[in-house]
Amino acid sequence: MFTPVVDSSGNLTWSNNGGLTNPAAVNIRAPKGSDATVTKAAIEAVLTGVINSHKHEALSKRLVENGYYRFHDGFLIQWGHPSDNQDTYGVQTIYFPHSFVDTSYSILTTADSSYQTYYVGRTICNKSAGSFKVSANQKNKERFFWIAVGKG
């Protein structure tokens, strides 16, 4: 959260509790003799500074084994390394930390296997905005990694 601070000379500075870069300081004192307390130029300078300082920062993120990184423009990257929880047909449902807006996201999976002599494939099926199902194509009960990218 950003907190504005104005000193007695009219200099506006910012502090925050998120470890982000603060916008540049700007003087918001109106010209001498004016009844305006804040000028239009000062407001524009503050807003421009905030937008430019943080347009590439994540809106939210969770940098853990099963996490996500969501940007201000809606771009969402999610990933995971789920525990084995396959049903009797070798199918497992994966629930996203954050739902996508629709099913136009892309998913990539790869096996976490010690086997080197045969293919350990995964098939994606039943995509929804909040989850997808993955089939092991055989009941090998091996963990896997997944990553999904799209609009969230």
| Local structure of residue 89 (DSSP, 8 states) | T
The pTM of the full predicted model, rounded to 2 decimals, is 0.59
Apex 37 CA angle, 36 and 43, nearest 5: 100
For the chain, domain boundaries:
2-55, 59-151
pLDDT tens sequence across 14-71: 777 667 777 777 776 655 655 544 445 555 565 566 555 555 566 777 778 888 988 8
Cα 12 to Cα 1, 17, 30, 101, 124: the distances in Å are 16, 17, 13, 38, 52
Determine the average pLDDT of the residues in 86-107.
89
The encoded tokens of residue 74 equal 């809606």
pLDDT of 96 strictly over 90:
yes
* Spatial distance between the Cα atoms of 108 and 148, rounded to a whole number of angstroms: 6
In 3D, which of 121, 143, 145, 125 has the Cα closest to residue 134? Answer: 125
Mean pLDDT check: name the lowest of 42-56, 103-117, 119-133: 42-56
Domain 59-151 classified CATH 3.40.50.150? Answer: no
